Amino acid sequence: MHSSVATDLNPSLRIRTLKSRRFQSYIAALVVTLFSFTAQAQSIQLRGQVNEAATGQPLPGVEVLLQGTGHRTFTDGQGMYRLTDLPSGTYTVVAFYVGLQSASQELELTSGTYTLDFSLHELGQTLDEVEVAGVRESFAGMRRLEAVEGAAIYEAKKNEVIEVQALTANLATNNSRQLYAKVPGLNIWESDGAGLQLGIGARGLDPNRTSNFNVRQNGYDISADALGYPESYYTPPAEAIERIEVVRGAASLQYGTQFGGLLNFVLRQGPDDRKLQVTTRQTGGSFGLFNSFNSVGGTVGKVNYYGFYQHKRRDGWRPNEGFTLDMAYGSVVYQATDRLSLTGQYTYMHYLAQQPGGLTDALYAQNPRQSIRSRNWFQVNWNLAALLLDYRITDRLKLNVRNFALLGGRDALGNLNRIDRVDDGSERNLFVDDFRNFGNETRLLYHYKLGAQPAVGLLGFRYYQGFTHRMQGNGDRGDGPTFQFLQPDNLENSDFDFPSQNVALFTEHVFNLTPHLSVTPGLRFEHIRTQSDGYYQDRVLVANPETGLAEDSTFQVPEQRDRRRSFVFAGLGVSFKQTPLLEWYGNFSQNYRAINFNDIRVVNPNQTVDPDIQDETGYNFDLGIRGTKNELFNYDVSLFYLRYNGRIGSILRTDDATYRIYRYRTNVADSRHIGLESFAELNLLKLLRPATAHRLNLFANLSFIDARYIATDEPSIKNRQVELVPPLNFKTGLSFQRGHFKAAYQLSYTAQQYSDATNARFTPSAVEGVIPAYSVMDLSASYRYRWVTLEGSLNNLLDRHYFTRRAAGYPGPGIIPSDGRSCYVTLQVQF
């Protein structure tokens, strides 16, 4: 060990946008409140480079940490790392990389910036590897959040951190099955094979566009409307993500009232020691996939910058499934002083996709690759902007401010009639949503001592203003993506404004009662206001006095709603660290979920909404054990209980006049969810040969969930299984590393589940019915030689035919088949 202190769109995809309402601005205006404080101490930074001793080449993905603290990071593609906002003191700095000897260096930190480089040697019989007992919890791309990280508290909470740079997976298509393979209990929807939209749910919550998670990027909201329409149409590309933080259960205290928890994408930054670093990744694959990802980053003086541009297109596994996507991101961090940094970030995304529609059960059995809808289109335009402030007032007191805004929209055009009806070429249904949201979240984090034990207090404030303009009417009879209403001034279905407002105060506190035992109570006050103002068209049968026959009559119904509610909910976490490598944890947290715009007003021939639908309430409870045995073994096993009162869902009803079966969306019942979530990973080669320089890891991710309706006036769903809850979810796999070569194999199994609350096995519309059990295998590999990396992936190895969802609306209705076997090859060059 050595250390030293020193595009063009396809013609078929061209669009004509709405001239009267599309927001063309790429830069959102932010109202920023500047904070001024008197500094009592300077913050401290530590940076450096980690190389491989044998070759002198920089090592990416090395974990660098301060022993005994929650400060840790990973090296980038040039082997560079950076730790900021460090407290003063004397620490042991550790560098760890699987297959190489760990290195450590004691260092006294007082003020300013320090440089510490490492050279890591191969393991051998004459070298003893440095043990980092009780500190390191990262294990082959997975770790857990420390008690306090950044400006947040995670003590006693169920959480996982996915270190994307350490994974061997198909990053070009955001393959969720691989990215989230080690997070237990997730139900993943695979609605497209290119990762345009992420659909994951946990503990029996709907995976639709991840709407039951609070979805963030670098700590700020990225969904359409966090309260009124919490669906995520934008997903960051995996190639730009440094890590993904998943927090469940008690996350509601710091991140809002959702039941699912937090999903936070942390994007990469530029290297500290270079003015310019360029990375280009070019991917080609099955079904006409081409993905070009290009990034630049570096540090010039006090400014760190990073940006990327991505262009992606594909023809699709099924006909009528092509898309094009363009995405760009820029981040500039200005280190004004040793204790104050300002960050500006902007994200742009636009994609246009043709949607092949759903299938009936008979059509799917006949040929899952067919499409009987050729006129359905979907486009998204997303503009996110953020201005962040981090200020260390003293060594103990830290301020974090996040200002963020969204200007965006989504348009859906096509035939939404039942999939068992032939498309007659009539006028298409057009949905248009425009979003204008902005918010501020401010946090104060204070470290102090209570008696002889350290304690941490967090106080936070959030203000959020959302605005959605939603229109629904008729589009033309054509085949192309013409997102224009035939009667823009008198829409055939509805035209609504949906303002929403949220003010919240929250606090959490970590009390260490002994060196082993801590309790973390928390409170959150919420004020929520949701409004609607507009009209919808109603249709009734009216008798014609001349003919005596009933005729369809349409009239416009104005509607205004204003719902305000304020409430306080609480939570408590307990952690007992039996040893530095073994922790028992438990937490309880109340939850609340406000009704969203889809729950208030939408015109869908397959669904009717209860006008008196109410908010949902409940709570989460976790009890578990987790730990690690150096780089040999890592595990987390927990039980959970989720109570969901007034759960919103859909039941089947029959129209008294037409005898048509339709879905009725309402507060169907209370539900209770009981489950086991478990994850374990073992380094087999380390077990057999402790001194080996190679790695062969076996992991298993297993969850059991029993979710049932327990209190309802609907006899058709009493004691039925909650929809979209596979009772068994299992993933396992092997990963191998030898030098710069990596390979990974994965098997995923998901048990049978239902798509509606009545547990219907079959309906002619194909919207309700069984989602059969399915299993999928994936194989990936990569090899790096100096500045060139070659990656390959073979997904759905055995070419299984399966589906993960039945859609009531877009992209269906009906069964949405998942992709068959596909292969991808990526060439990366970095200099």
**Lookup result for tokens 């030689």:** 785
Closest to 747 measured CA to CA, from 700, 683, 781: 700
State yes or no: cis peptide before 772, omega within 30 of 0: no
Give me the residues paired with residue 616 across strands. 593
Structural domain contains residue 144? no
Give me the residues paired with residue 88 across strands. none
Q: Give CA–CA dist 219/402, Å, rounded.
A: 8
* C-alpha 600 chain-centroid distance: 25
Give me the residues paired with residue 106 across strands. 92
Closest to 77 measured CA to CA, from 310, 266, 297: 297
First to last CA, the chain: 26
CA distances from 559 to 424, 498, 528, 745 (A): 33, 12, 20, 55
Count each helix (H run) and each strand (E run) in the chain, helices first.
5, 45
Structural domain contains residue 657? yes
Structural domain contains residue 113? no
Closest to 710 measured CA to CA, from 656, 654, 767, 645: 645
pLDDT of residue 540: 66
* Domain containing residue 800: 11-32+228-463+479-830
Give the chain's residues under pLDDT 70: 1-43, 68-70, 98-99, 122-140, 540-544, 547-552, 598-607, 630, 657-660
Q: CATH no. for residue 774? A: 2.40.170.20
Q: Which amino acid is at 729?
A: N
CA distances from 144 to 135, 136, 183, 247, 613 (A): 11, 10, 11, 10, 38
Q: Give CA–CA dist 8/173, Å, rounded.
A: 19
pLDDT of residue 541: 60
Structural domain contains residue 2? no
Give 547-574 pLDDT, tens digit per residue.
666 666 777 888 888 889 999 999 999 9
Q: Give CA–CA dist 312/172, Å, rounded.
A: 9
The 3-class SS string of 584-600 reads EEEEEEEEEECCCHHHH
State yes or no: cis peptide before 368, omega within 30 of 0: no
Q: Give CA–CA dist 319/764, Å, rounded.
A: 23
Structural domain contains residue 218? no
- Please tell me the total count of domains within the chain: 1
pLDDT of residue 59: 86
DSSP letter, residue 183: S
- Phi and psi for 585 in degrees, rounded to 5? -140, 155
Structural domain contains residue 719? yes
- Phi and psi for 562 in degrees, rounded to 5? -145, 110
pLDDT of residue 715: 86
Q: Which residues contact 452 (CB under 8 A, 6 or more apart)?
A: none
DSSP letter, residue 773: -
Q: Give CA–CA dist 539/524, Å, rounded.
A: 44
Give 767-776 pLDDT, tens digit per residue.
999 999 999 9
In this structure, what token pair is assigned to residue 385?
């902007």
Structural domain contains residue 147? no
Give me the residues paired with residue 95 across strands. 64, 103
Closest to 670 measured CA to CA, from 651, 652, 648, 653: 648
DSSP letter, residue 365: H
Q: Which residues contact 755 (CB under 8 A, 6 or more apart)?
A: 723, 724, 767, 768, 769, 770, 771, 805, 806
Structural domain contains residue 125? no
- Phi and psi for 522 in degrees, rounded to 5? -155, 155
Q: Tell me the average pLDDT of the chain.
A: 87
